[in-house]
A and B are shown apart, each in its own frame.
Chain A
């Protein structure tokens, strides 16, 4: 297990290194930030001075070298716009995004698993078919469109919930979270549902397929032959087996949730790091974009690692084979 863990961490570091290079290369090609920051009437000497201050006058490989060296010390550059550490600017917005992603993830499980299990237990019934057809609709709808329609319905027509922004926050363990205030929750709800509806369709599909497959297994038949109640069979025998694929996929989907928060945050003007990314791309704030991408790569790699370990924890078969290997 330890050998496995070390090997996995090694692979993860390699991925981060490769991505760092790609991200740096790609983002380096974006526009000319000097032209944006400088006074339009600035002369060449002033422009050069700005470029030199930002380190943009050096050769690209040297810039990359400096970037890596600084990155290893936790410095991903200084935002051109905010004149602050890029990482700090992003980290400030990280809780908002993570909160959104977690609440959405929770919602998609709460919506998706029960519906998927119901559809999987009765795949040919009207209810089962309806759930599955609706789930096609669920992932057909583009994320931003769902957001717009929710705004139209709940904010514009019904005026039940606010259309944009983040509500009041309270400090929990040094992190500003909004889900513990009523106002914060009301701001969080629409973006979270938008993000969750999208994923819950996926959860429904996996849960349905998983339930169907598990229900056909001999051990479910044996469980029935033992005279167990349907409830015990579904909640213990089926659910525990079915949760394995759900946990795997959902864990990985947390990463994609963070990525998709870019869209949702833009729709709802929610001040998370996704909206910051879009703003920074439009403002050519290169360090922020680089720092965002590096942070995301890092988060993804961590998520992959954690999911694998969780997977081993749920499934004794994996645990055993890993222990042997």
Chain B
């Protein structure tokens, strides 16, 4: 077995705020192999985006990576000086963001923004870099890329801008691409196109993809495995099919229940009652307990530890819903 391209171990990210130290990401671990797609699912405030930024070393004060390790192709990133991190970003690890309308600098032309991404990492001529940028645009399905290179971002639609961003992120064939909800702000039809595009490109280049989203239906069609985050922790992880079919954690079950789908038509959509807890005021027990239909006495007092289950799965729950039998372990589990 080869070492994973991206390996995150016990990551802890804290922010010092007026109300004291807030732990936004607490003991998150996961790993992604080359060509593999991992979904990182959670509501807003669950720490999924912060985890993504941490992988790029983009946590700014007052936040900091308090503990844990992040390795890319075996190289430790936590603790690297800024200069060294700059060499990693965009080269080994790239990232695309949620809102395509704001990810491109409005006053710089597309070619400027793409060429600088290449020339930050490689000593190539302006002309060569431009050609690569044009090819990259063509690859993400932008018509007449030659002309479009000299355009400004405001001359593109949202979907087109996200394609430009994806092309830019993949210019240096990164080993890992972190995608922070890149399709959320787009129309459904465009969403599907972008999804397919990214999937194809990552498969071609063997790029490991971390897809951050709040939308389980996206994960269902895209990812190989999934980690569900709640209040800064991974509450459940495993292969996508297993997790979606037989969720262990009530929160995962709640998320699945709240996705509208054809075979559930006519029945009322399930909701998770209550709101995401404030990170500064987490209850002593399971953070999900106040909203959990299945919570019992220990849930309110004792924080559940990560419990491994057969099939490469794991969850943090005192009252698991579906406990996979040992013999149900799948062959392809890592």
- A residues within 8 Å of B by Cβ? 124, 217-230, 232, 236-237, 240-241, 244, 314-317, 320
Say yes or no: A314-B89 contact (C-beta < 8 A), given A225-B56, A232-B116. no
A242 to chain B, nearest CB (A): 10
Residue in A225, A315, A320 whose beta carbon sits within 8 Å of that of B155 in the complex: A320
Are A221 and B105 in contact (CB-based, < 8 A)?
Answer: no
* Total cross-chain contacts (CB, 8 A): 89
How far is it, in angstroms, between the C-alpha of A240 and the C-alpha of B95 when the chains are bound?
Answer: 23
Residue in A221, A227, A241 whose beta carbon sits within 8 Å of that of B90 in the complex: A227
Please indicate the chain A residues that have their CB under 8 angstroms from the CB of B88 in the complex: 227
Chain B residue, CB-CB nearest to A229: B86
How far is it, in angstroms, between the C-alpha of A228 and the C-alpha of B104 when the chains are bound?
Answer: 14
How far is it, in angstroms, between the C-alpha of A209 and the C-alpha of B1 when the chains are bound?
Answer: 52
Say yes or no: A219-B89 contact (C-beta < 8 A), given A225-B56, A225-B95, A226-B116. no
A313 to chain B, nearest CB (A): 11
Residue in A221, A225, A314 whose Cβ sees the most chain B Cβ within 10 Å: A225
Chain A residue, CB-CB nearest to B99: A218
User: 1/0 per residue B154-170: CB within 8 Å of A?
Assistant: 11000000000100110
Are A236 and B116 in contact (CB-based, < 8 A)?
Answer: yes
Chain A residue, CB-CB nearest to B112: A236
Are B58 and A224 in contact (CB-based, < 8 A)?
Answer: yes
B75 to chain A, nearest CB (A): 15
Say yes or no: A236-B108 contact (C-beta < 8 A), given A228-B86, A316-B152, A316-B154. yes
Chain A residue, CB-CB nearest to B165: A222
Please indicate the chain B residues that have their CB under 8 angstroms from the CB of A320 in the complex: 152, 154-155
Say yes or no: A219-B58 contact (C-beta < 8 A), given A224-B89, A228-B117, A320-B155. no
Please indicate the chain B residues that have their CB under 8 angstroms from the CB of A228 in the complex: 86, 90, 116-117, 120
Say yes or no: A222-B103 contact (C-beta < 8 A), given A240-B108, A316-B152. yes
How far is it, in angstroms, between the C-alpha of A223 and the C-alpha of B105 when the chains are bound?
Answer: 9
Please list the 9 inter-chain residue pairs (A to B) with the smallest Cβ-Cβ separation, ordered nearest first. Answer: A227-B90, A227-B89, A218-B102, A226-B90, A225-B95, A226-B117, A219-B105, A316-B152, A222-B103
User: 1/0 per residue B11-45: CB within 8 Å of A?
Assistant: 00000000000000000000000000000000000
Q: Could you list 7 examples of A-B contacts with CB < 8 Å? A: A222-B95, A222-B104, A232-B120, A237-B105, A237-B108, A241-B105, A316-B106
Are A225 and B107 in contact (CB-based, < 8 A)?
Answer: no
* Any A CB within 8 A of the CB of B87: yes
Please indicate the chain B residues that have their CB under 8 angstroms from the CB of A225 in the complex: 56, 58, 89-90, 94-95, 97, 169
How far is it, in angstroms, between the C-alpha of A59 and the C-alpha of B155 when the chains are bound?
Answer: 60
B267 to chain A, nearest CB (A): 39
Are B105 and A230 in contact (CB-based, < 8 A)?
Answer: no
Are A230 and B89 in contact (CB-based, < 8 A)?
Answer: no
* Any A CB within 8 A of the CB of B121: yes
Are A219 and B104 in contact (CB-based, < 8 A)?
Answer: yes
Are A221 and B108 in contact (CB-based, < 8 A)?
Answer: no
How far is it, in angstroms, between the C-alpha of A228 and the C-alpha of B121 when the chains are bound?
Answer: 8
* Any A CB within 8 A of the CB of B316: no
Chain B residue, CB-CB nearest to A228: B120
A319 to chain B, nearest CB (A): 9
A324 to chain B, nearest CB (A): 11
Are B120 and A227 in contact (CB-based, < 8 A)?
Answer: yes
B180 to chain A, nearest CB (A): 10
How far is it, in angstroms, between the C-alpha of A221 and the C-alpha of B95 when the chains are bound?
Answer: 10
How far is it, in angstroms, between the C-alpha of A314 and the C-alpha of B105 when the chains are bound?
Answer: 13
How far is it, in angstroms, between the C-alpha of A219 and the C-alpha of B90 when the chains are bound?
Answer: 14
Please indicate the chain A residues that have their CB under 8 angstroms from the CB of B58 in the complex: 221, 224-225
Please indicate the chain A residues that have their CB under 8 angstroms from the CB of B89 in the complex: 224-227
* Any A CB within 8 A of the CB of B297: no
How far is it, in angstroms, between the C-alpha of A297 and the C-alpha of B82 when the chains are bound?
Answer: 52
